[in-house]
């Protein structure tokens, strides 16, 4: 899968330890999706399993990512189970990944930037 190769390469040159670690974890998740596609030949079963592989800490906020994640999962499933793999499918998967990653970062960084409630004086 071209996306795995791209993320692995980016992780190897990333200067930020945080971003490099996230990239390595995402490569592991994508490799897990490849395995799940082989074990779950049904798209619905694959998507159910693929939604719960640690996209957010303990998958506590993964449901907030449902739309872009499901789109990406459908493309991964197609990539792994159909013979029509080509550069257009790889490109669609990369675009889907970028959208998923953007939404995930917005959600995760948004929760970090929300100020904690202050106790009453």
Instruction: Provide mean pLDDT across the span 59-87.
Output: 91
pLDDT at 111 over 60: no
Residue 11 has pLDDT above 90, yes or no: yes
Residue 81 near residue 50 (C-beta atoms within 8 A): no
**Mean pLDDT for all residues in the chain:** 90
Is 15's pLDDT higher than 70? yes
Number of H helices, E strands in the chain: 5, 0
**What's this model's pTM, rounded to 2 decimal places?**
0.85
pLDDT band at 92 (very low <50, low <70, confident <90, very high): very high
27/114: higher pLDDT:
27
Q: Helix H segments across 1-121?
A: 2-13, 17-39, 43-50, 66-81, 87-113
């Amino acid at each position: 899968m071209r996306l795995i190769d791209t993320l692995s390469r980016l992780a190897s040159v990333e200067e930020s330890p945080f971003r490099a670690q996230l990239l390595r974890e995402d490569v592991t998740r994508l490799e897990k999706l490849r395995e799940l596609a082989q074990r779950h030949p049904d798209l619905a079963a694959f998507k159910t399993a693929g939604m719960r592989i640690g996209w957010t800490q303990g998958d506590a906020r993964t449901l907030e990512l449902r739309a872009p994640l499901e789109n990406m999962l459908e493309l991964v499933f197609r990539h792994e189970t159909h013979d029509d793999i080509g550069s257009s499918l790889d490109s669609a998967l990369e675009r889907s990944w970028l959208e998923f990653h953007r939404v995930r970062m917005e959600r995760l960084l948004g929760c970090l930037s929300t100020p904690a409630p202050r106790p009453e004086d």
